[in-house]
Amino acid sequence: MKLPDWRAGPLLAAALLAGCASPAGIQSQAQRRSPASVGLAADTAAPAPAVAPGWWRAFGDPQLDRLVEQALADSPTLKIAQARTARAQAVLEVAGAATRPQLQGSATVQRQRYTETGAVPPPLAGSVRDSGTLQLGASWEIDFFGRYREALAAALGSSRAAEVEVEAARVLLASQVARSYFQLARIDAQLQVAQRTLAQREQALGLVRERFDAGLDTTLELRQSEGALPDARQQIEALQEQAQLTRHALAALVAQPDAAVQPPALASMRALAIPAAIPADLLARRADIMAARWRIEAATHDVASARAQFYPNVNLGAFVGLSSIGLSNLLEGGSLQWGVGPALQLPIFDAGRLRANLRGKAADLDLAIESYNGAILDAVREVADQLASARSIGRQQMQQREAQGAAEAAYGIAVQRYQAGLGTYLQVLSAETAVLDQRRLAVDLAARALDNQVQLMRSLGGGFQPEAGPPRLAAKAP
């Protein structure tokens, strides 16, 4: 007679008792946004050249290259991200172990007095004996409904998300170092302007004193000229403070407290190529978006694993070993014992624990999807903002150069008129203020242009190059 297939038992039990604890009515509600919905359709956005992994080298500054390399090698922030990756990989290994057979070994030795008034017959009753057991046990939970398979896939998604987040941390760290470096350059250039201003005002004070001594100027002009010096010195002191704070921030980023950094000249930096439009493949370039997609993948499999917990667990168990009362008999053939058999567990009533767990996993999936949606919206906005700023800064620099030329000419005329006695010192001060404002503005615009280029490189992915294509989201994802 043909024996029935023992694997049909769990399936039949699941069909009969599924109504006892049901996942019905619990599912994710969030919807992923498509690239076209944020303006990234291939027919509306032209692809731009990919950002090189070492994009900061294009500025042509060896000192900047060294600082970024130090940061990527020693920064605690990056090491934290790497530690999270190691933790995610350990979780992946734990999840993978649950899908494979388990083997355990045990050895026990016990000295025991057996009760005289229990079920133990003489001569054991009332005696003190040694007992021992040597045993191997094996178990394998057969994953009929994919509980552990889905948990493994979820752990894999989390592990890959953590790996990609390390790359996102690298991109962010490199951009922070470059921005701090150019901030130091801006402060140094502003400091040079302030020092030129102080020297210029000292020369003007000497001229006013000569005219005052000759009776050509009054005490008012002399006091006005003297009062301009403390203001210039205060600006220099404030800029020196900013320079120190920026150096400290840069040293912290590169994890080198004693890092010696010479402020670079803004004019010596090479300009980077700026794309004309948002690239159509933006989402594949950014590590943060790739990580968000892997988080959706992980959360999707978490939901599937939680749903599979409503179905039976089938565990095959077996043991073989030796057991005896009296250690002298432990290794004899008669001490052999063994057993094998399946175990079935089916949730019937759990006070809503499984449904609550499934609702929580569905909420996690909604959170992952909306985080992804927010990430792509932020990515498109960031690139659009940086492109708009890049074009605007270029136009502002053109207008500023014309304004500075006019201000310099007006100042020269004002000084000549004052020296000839045809103008007042107030006119000189007014013309000088316009010149200084334009000089500061020129420095700020040059620094903004560099900072904008750094932020644009980060917004375009910062040179992120995934080893494989983007994750193919599970079919169960909404």
Question: What CATH number has the domain bearing residue 322?
Answer: 2.20.200.10
Predicted local distance difference test score (pLDDT) of residue 8: 52
At residue 16, what is the residue type?
L
Do 46 and 116 lie in one domain? The reply is no
Quote the crossing angle between the two packed helices 425-459 and 219-253, to the nearest 10°.
10
Let me know: does 35 contact 380? Beta carbons within 8 Å: no
CB pairs under 8 A, 24+ apart, for 387-395?
A: 387/274, 387/275, 387/276, 387/277, 387/278, 387/456, 389/448, 389/452, 390/274, 390/449, 390/452, 390/453, 390/456, 393/445, 393/448, 393/449, 393/452, 394/449
Report DSSP letters for 394-453, one per residue.
Answer: HHHHHHHHHHHHHHHHHHHHHHHHHHTTSS-HHHHHHHHHHHHHHHHHHHHHHHHHHHHH
Rounded Cα gap, residues 71 and 370, in angstroms? 32
Do 306 and 413 lie in one domain? The reply is yes
Let me know: does 150 contact 301? Beta carbons within 8 Å: yes
Rounded Cα gap, residues 30 and 32, in angstroms? 7
Tokens 């994710």 sit on residue: 28
Do 186 and 277 lie in one domain? The reply is yes
Domain boundary among 299, 329, 345: 345
Q: Which one, of 302, 210, 296, lies nearest residue 471 by Cα?
A: 296
Q: Kindly state the tokens that stand for 176.
A: 């922070």
What torsion, rounded to 10 degrees, do the Cα atoms 387, 392, 393, 395 define? 130
Let me know: does 51 contact 457? Beta carbons within 8 Å: yes
Phi, psi (5° rounding) for residue 232?
-65, -40
CA angle 457, 461, 464 (to 5 degrees): 120
Do 50 and 155 lie in one domain? The reply is yes
Predicted local distance difference test score (pLDDT) of residue 47: 57
In a domain, 178, yes or no: yes
Tokens 């569905």 sit on residue: 362
Do 51 and 68 lie in one domain? The reply is yes
Do 95 and 187 lie in one domain? The reply is yes
CATH number of the domain bearing residue 444: 1.20.1600.10
What distance lies between CA 117 and its chain's CA centroid?
A: 69
Do 192 and 264 lie in one domain? The reply is yes
Sheet holding 313-325, edge to edge: 102-113, 128-142, 313-325, 336-345
In a domain, 396, yes or no: yes
Q: Which one, of 65, 179, 61, 177, lies nearest residue 453 by Cα?
A: 179
Do 110 and 94 lie in one domain? The reply is no
In a domain, 15, yes or no: no
In a domain, 476, yes or no: no
Predicted local distance difference test score (pLDDT) of residue 44: 46
End-to-end CA distance of the chain: 49
In a domain, 130, yes or no: yes
Mean pLDDT by 10 residues, the chain (478 residues): 48 50 74 73 56 87 90 81 78 73 84 82 81 80 77 84 87 91 91 85 79 78 79 88 89 82 83 77 84 90 85 79 77 79 74 82 89 89 90 92 92 86 77 86 92 91 71 41
Do 332 and 292 lie in one domain? The reply is no
Rounded Cα gap, residues 28 and 358, in angstroms? 10
Do 91 and 134 lie in one domain? The reply is no
In a domain, 9, yes or no: no
In a domain, 82, yes or no: yes
Q: Which one, of 456, 458, 453, lies nearest residue 61 by Cα?
A: 453
CA atoms lying within 13 Å on the CB side of residue 370: 9
Do 94 and 221 lie in one domain? The reply is yes
- Exposed/middle/buried for residue 429 (C-beta within 10 Å: 0-12, 13-18, 19+): middle
At residue 234, what is the residue type?
Q
Q: Is 34 helix (H, G, I), strand (E, B) or coil?
A: coil
Domain hosting 207: range is 30-99+146-310+353-459
Predicted local distance difference test score (pLDDT) of residue 160: 87
Domain total for the chain?
Answer: 2
Do 240 and 263 lie in one domain? The reply is yes
Predicted local distance difference test score (pLDDT) of residue 182: 92
Q: Which one, of 446, 439, 453, lies nearest residue 387 by Cα?
A: 453
In a domain, 162, yes or no: yes
Rounded Cα gap, residues 40 and 46, in angstroms? 9
Phi, psi (5° rounding) for residue 26?
-115, 115
pTM: 0.78
